[in-house]
Amino acid sequence: MKRKKVTVVGSGNVGATAAQRIVDKDLADVVLIDIIEGVPQGKALDLLQSGPVEGYDFSITGANDYQDTADSDAVIITAGLPRKPGMSRDDLLMKNYEIVKSVTEQIVQYSPNSILIVVSNPLDAMVQTALKVSGFPKNRVIGMAGVLDSARFCTFIAMELNVSVENIHAFVLGGHGDTMVPLPRYSTVSGIPITELLPKEKIDALVKRTANGGAEIVSLLKTGSAYYAPSAASVEMLEAIFKDKKKILPCAAYLEGEYGIHGLYVGVPVKLGKNGIEDIIQIKLTPEEDAALKKSAAAVKELVDIIRV
């Protein structure tokens, strides 16, 4: 059986950690690519030398030239400038638009049949950039946001209730940023909605902490942003695709009328399988939740209008 090949664009903390998780899970050979000479090669060699200890037998190579990425089955795009303290997501917008545009053009040239998982911020606008630049069908261009935001929400619920995170399913919809829409009604502990277990003000505090989850880590680290959880989230999506799991995960998907939203990437539950997004799951929202989702979509549209994608 031919082994899968994944390109990880950007060999910073998110990219390198994603590469490590991919080989740890025996998913694919990995090419780490970056514009900085030596960095992807050095990290790839270091990861390769962990193989005899960790027991994985996949090839990991570093590259600066997209020729080395040819015929990738999937590409995880983490390239872009990180958010610095005090910097809004919008400040990042134009700089990262240029980076993601250039990356996508090269991927299309060398891996025209790949599935793209976009991690770069501001997420929803960057995944829309990748869709428009690539010309790929919408099922093959997916944004990683909801899995991460839901993981953060799960973590905070588990901490609050002092229960195992394995008992918790949480759902977060909408744009990746301050307008995300955590759904407490659909967030459960062993099937029990958290609305039955926690008072409203406690849930509101957890929702707020989830929406600020990335900023909280940026303010603590001072010189960087989150990477362990973002890399884990992107690799969960990759695994669902490669293993054709038909797993329902919240991802940024291109909506054409679902949830009353047209022509925008917004975080919604989707079914992930070998073709990428195989179905968009439409759940019933209360008027308040629907209004919050529309507000989130409007915030995404503002960014998309600025970069005209």
Give the CATH number of the domain where residue 54 resides.
Answer: 3.40.50.720
pLDDT at 179: 86
The catalytically annotated residue of 152, 176, 271, 301 is 176
Cα separation, 99 vs 80, whole angstroms:
6
For 181, other C-beta atoms within 10 Å of its C-beta total: 26
Taking residues 89-113, what's their average pLDDT?
Answer: 92
- pLDDT-derived band of residue 83, with 50, 70 and 90 as boundaries? low
Of residues 27, 46, 36, the one with CA closest to residue 9: 36
Cα separation, 108 vs 88, whole angstroms:
30
Of residues 27, 103, 23, the one with CA closest to residue 65: 103
Of residues 50, 69, 64, 51, the one with CA closest to residue 6: 69
In the chain, pLDDT over 70 holds for what percent of residues?
Answer: 98
Q: Based on the domain organization, do 210 and 132 belong to the same domain?
A: no
Taking residues 63-79, what's their average pLDDT?
Answer: 98
**What pLDDT digit, counting tens, does each position of 271-281 carry?**
999 999 999 99
Q: Based on the domain organization, do 125 and 155 belong to the same domain?
A: no
Is 262 in the active site?
no
Q: Based on the domain organization, do 214 and 265 belong to the same domain?
A: yes
Task: Examine the fold and report which residue of 108, 143, 178 is the final residue of a domain before the chain moves on.
Answer: 143
Cα separation, 176 vs 250, whole angstroms:
11
Q: Based on the domain organization, do 173 and 136 belong to the same domain?
A: no
User: Structural domain tally of the chain?
Assistant: 2
Taking residues 52-62, what's their average pLDDT?
Answer: 97
Task: Examine the fold and report which residue of 91, 114, 143 is the final residue of a domain before the chain moves on.
Answer: 143
Cα separation, 149 vs 177, whole angstroms:
9
- Residue 228 structural domain: 146-307
Taking residues 131-144, what's their average pLDDT?
Answer: 98
Task: Give yes or no for residue 268 having a pLDDT over 90.
Answer: yes
Task: Please check whether residue 139 is in contact with residue 98, taking contact to mean a CB–CB distance below 8 angstroms.
Answer: no
CATH code assigned at 296: 3.90.110.10
**What pLDDT digit, counting tens, does each position of 218-264 carry?**
999 998 889 999 999 999 999 999 999 999 999 999 999 999 999 99
Q: pTM of the entire structure? A: 0.96
Task: Examine the fold and report which residue of 84, 119, 143 is the final residue of a domain before the chain moves on.
Answer: 143
Task: Tell me which H or E stretch contains 16.
Answer: helix 13-24
